[in-house]
Structure 1
Amino acid sequence: MTRQLQAFILALSIVVATCGIGRAQDYVIDQRTSDALTKYLHMSELPMVTAQFSTSPGGSKQLILTGFVTTQFGRNDAERIAIGYLNDPSVNMVDQILLDPHIEDMRGGQQGSGTAGSQSQNSPDQLWNKTMQGIYKNGGQTPSGSGPMLP
């Protein structure tokens, strides 16, 4: 995993933690199911999507999907895979997955293609900046008092 991808995943975790994901206070997170479903999504070629499964004392179930995909198809696929994994139509789905076409450019092995001009425009730093701008534009916030997210 590249250093920038690791930094991006760390930044994503911080953004998700600081955004105050909209769930009722009385829901209890089922960490085991959340982790298993997140791992399943990652194995299903959705490496930047996470799942948080929780239940209320009254028995209501909620699934929050967060992260990034490149297309609407990827977003729909994440929902379909998650619902299929849980096999429970009564689960309330909260989809907070953001679309960012630049994520595809972050995949390894694509930096060496194209001309010198296209390399500079699609450099990892440029892609990182475009992705982070998308996060902030869609409501993500940096942790208060923090500096730049890149090491």
Structure 2
Amino acid sequence: MAVIAIVGVCSVARAQNYVIDQGTSDALTKYLHMSELPMVTAQFSTSAGGRKQLILTGFVATQFGRNDAERIAIGYLNDPSVNLVDQILLDPHVEDMRPPPGSAAAGPEAQSPNSPDQLWKKTMQGIYKNGGQSPAGSGPMLP
């Protein structure tokens, strides 16, 4: 039992040695948003030993969207050695947040109470209110 506890502690300690590359994280998050994945964020980090890690978080409506986010992110980084940690949650209601075809998603309605940005903020506030943890060191989820 003690061996399992030590292995678990070592794994946690090792994970904490990663340094977040905020520039790459922000650029990749923005790229995912432009690729019709507005509720997915990326956190890219590197360990002192040179290991690279990419954590994807957020929400998509389907497994296809989740696979697409992984494919787009790995393609963007163009580095097969990156350790991908996919924390994207599937929620079919995400599709309901998509603006109607032909509407300007980034226009003035972006401030309306039913805009994807506002719905995202409400969803995240509900998660945090009910005990969810904010990703350490992360900024706003949507640019």
Alignment TM-score, normalising by the size of structure 1: 0.59
1:66 aligns to 2:60 (yes or no): no
Letter matched to residue 98 of structure 1: L
The match for 1:18 is: none
| Alpha-carbon distance, 1:105 to partner | 1.1
Structure 2 SS opposite 1:52: strand
Alignment TM-score, normalising by the size of structure 2: 0.62
| Alpha-carbon distance, 1:107 to partner | 2.4
1:79 aligns to 2:70 (yes or no): yes
Identity %: 79
1:36 aligns to 2:27 (yes or no): yes
| Alpha-carbon distance, 1:65 to partner | 0.1
Distance in 2 (CA, whole Å) between partners of 1:142 and 1:53 is 19
Over 3 Å counting, the alpha-carbon distance change for 1:58 and 1:50 in structure 2 is same
Distance in 2 (CA, whole Å) between partners of 1:59 and 1:85 is 19
- Unpaired runs of 5+ residues, structure 2, are 1-11, 102-113, 135-143
| Alpha-carbon distance, 1:140 to partner | 6.2
Two-structure CA RMSD over aligned residues (Å): 2.8
> Could you say which structure has the greater relative contact order, defined with CA pairs below 8 angstroms and 6 or more residues apart?
1
The match for 1:25 is: 16
Deviations 1:41-96 (A, max 9, x none): 00000000000000000000000000000000000000000000000000000000
Pairing 1:1-151 to 2, within 5 Å after superposition:
24-109=15-100, 141=132
Distance in 1 (CA, whole Å) between partners of 2:133 and 2:81 is 34
- Unpaired runs of 5+ residues, structure 1, are 1-21, 111-123, 144-151
Distance in 2 (CA, whole Å) between partners of 1:88 and 1:140 is 35
Structure 2 SS opposite 1:65: strand
**4+ residue runs over 3 A deviation:** none
Structure 1 SS opposite 2:50: coil
Q: Across the two proteins, how many residue pairs are aligned to each other?
A: 101
